[in-house]
Amino acid sequence: MTDAPPTGDPGIGRLAGLAAWLDGQAPGTTHQVVAVERPAAGYSSETALVDVRCHPAPHHPDSGTTVASPGPPAWSRNEGSSPSGSTVASPLPPAWSRNEGSSPSGSTVASPGPPAWSRNEGSSPSGSTVASPVPPAWSRNEGSSPSGSTVASPVPPAWSQNEGGEAGEGSDGAVERLVVKLPPPGPAIFPAYDFALQARVQEAVAAAGIPAPAPARSEADERWLGAPFLVMPAVDGHVVGSVPAFDRRLTAAGAGANRALHTAFVHLVADVNQVDWRAAGLDGVLPHRDNAAELAYWRDYLDWYADGEVLVPALVAALDWCAAHPPAREPEPALRWGDVRLENVILDDDLHPVAVLDWEMASLGAAEHDLAWLTTLQATQDALVGRRVDGFLDLAEVVATYEARLGRPVQDLAWYEALAALRSTAILTRIAHLNDRRGEPNFFPIADNPMLDLLAGRTAGG
């Protein structure tokens, strides 16, 4: 049976139940949760780095049979089938209610959307400010976890090998670091968080050659941890700061290395958009969102984000403008990453991308949405902080680099950027609304947010 966690260890708590779940995923092994690192709770998914010790399962002294903790029924796992025979792990919520925004990942997992300089809720284990839904501060410009660097297994973890074999040689006592993601503990940025969807897309893109943490497993059965959850291996590396222009690692790297990084990042976005989503098995898994459906999603969001109140009329006006000026035609649907930010990529010591995080915003639609999210957030940061990373591509170079990699010119980018500005400002307004409800200060007041001026500039005129 699985060893109990250290008596009185306050850091492990309910995550001790992960050991029994892992036993069921990897017959022939037993697991013990030995350490947990948690960022401060915010308004997105609760994420933890969990160190797990793996042992060969003890054998019955008389029969010689392996004794292991029972796993959940197959239909409760994301790779199993339902009692009716279908292979759906947990029912997907309506398209508009899915997490349209954020992460997980390698050394940490981030939820969608807004840059961290717009948020101020919570602190990391080291006391520095952490604003969910981006990675905690200790995984950003400091470059490592509180313990140094994130531990990554060089081979797929034993719990991913659930064909029923014995644990491999050399696994006795080995410690694996995993990322565990749970639903937000309270009011959140989005109405629902779909871990089954994220696990499916993360494994699909990894199989297609995109660097993404895999295997990823979702669990809908709440008996293990008291809530649905997502598990994946941690990835060794660094995550840049939420404001890349202030990131110490990038500042030290110099213009040449930064330009190479930024070019690789833009190429990575185009590569995601070129994944054959049908061949990857994502048709029927991800929501199809043409532009009309995208506008409908955000109209529903504006009805929900302030509990039915029209908190910022300018957002409704901007959405009306987008609806009145749609592109005449749309490109063929592509796989959309969703939360396209450099902070959602883990880098190695040489600033090469090694893992792409945060797939909960993934959908099928115009690739221009991903490019527009990238360029709009970059332009917004440049305007608000007054500087750009030395060596980074300017906006025209970003577009030209993306088009060359994608193999076609982008269409109607100004419209997609206006919608991206609306989306990001709506998310920030939701966070500000929740801060107001908790009596916490906001970086930008709701009614006097400078991003509203930037949005108005994009939606003025016909």
pLDDT of residue 322: 97
**Residue 328 carries which DSSP code?**
S
**Of 80, 57, 184, 49, whose CA–CA distance to 122 is shortest?**
184
Q: Residue 328: phi, psi to the nearest 5?
A: -65, -30
For residue 11, what pLDDT band results from cuts at 50, 70 and 90? low
Residue type, 120: N
Q: Check residue 157 and give its pLDDT.
A: 54
Choose the weakest-confidence range: 120-134, 301-315, 351-365: 120-134
Helices (H) and strands (E) in the chain, counts: 10, 9
Mean pLDDT of 78-99: 34
pLDDT category, 247, cuts 50, 70, 90? very high
**β strands within 251-405, DSSP E:** 334-336, 345-347, 353-356, 363-365
What's the rounded Cα separation, in Å, for the pair 415 and 372? 9
Residues 119, 132 contacting (CB under 8 angstroms): yes
pLDDT digits 0-9 by tens, 365-389 = 999 999 999 999 999 999 989 999 9
355: left (phi over 0), alpha (psi -120 to 50) or beta: beta
Q: How far is CA 77 from the centre of its chain?
A: 20
Per-residue pLDDT averaged across 34-46, rounded? Answer: 82
CA atoms within 13 A on the CB side of 396: 0
Say if residues 424 and 284 touch (Cβ distance below 8 Å).
no
Checking if the pLDDT of 107 tops 60, the result is no
Residue 250, pLDDT > 70, answer yes
C-alpha 64, offset from chain centre: 44
What would the DSSP string read from start to end of 74-138?
Answer: GGGBTTS--TTS---SSPPPPGGGS--S----SS----SSS-GGG----B-TTS-B--TTS--GG
**Residue-level pLDDT at 453:** 87
Q: State residue 173's pLDDT score.
A: 80
Separation in Å, CA 417 to CA 183, 372, 449: 30, 5, 18
Cα 255 to Cα 82, 237, 260: the distances in Å are 53, 21, 9
More confident: 166 or 407:
407
Question: How much is the pLDDT for 160?
Answer: 53
Closest CA to 368 of 408, 397, 322: 408
Q: What is the pLDDT at residue 136? A: 30
pLDDT band at 13 (very low <50, low <70, confident <90, very high): confident
Q: Which two tokens stand for residue 72?
A: 């959940």
What is the pLDDT at residue 220? 96
Degrees to nearest 5, angle at CA 151 with 216 and 29: 60
Confidence of residue 462 (pLDDT cuts 50, 70, 90): low
Above 70 in pLDDT, residue 171? Answer: no
Mean pLDDT along residues 55-71: 49
Percent of the chain with pLDDT over 70: 72
Supply the pLDDT for residue 28. Answer: 87
Which residues share a beta bridge with 49?
37, 179
Confidence of residue 410 (pLDDT cuts 50, 70, 90): very high
Stretch 302-317: mean pLDDT: 90
pLDDT of 117 over the 60 cut: no
CATH architecture for the domain at 13-57+74-458: Alpha-Beta Complex (3.90)
Residue of 260, 57, 92, 85 whose CA lies nearest to 164 = 57
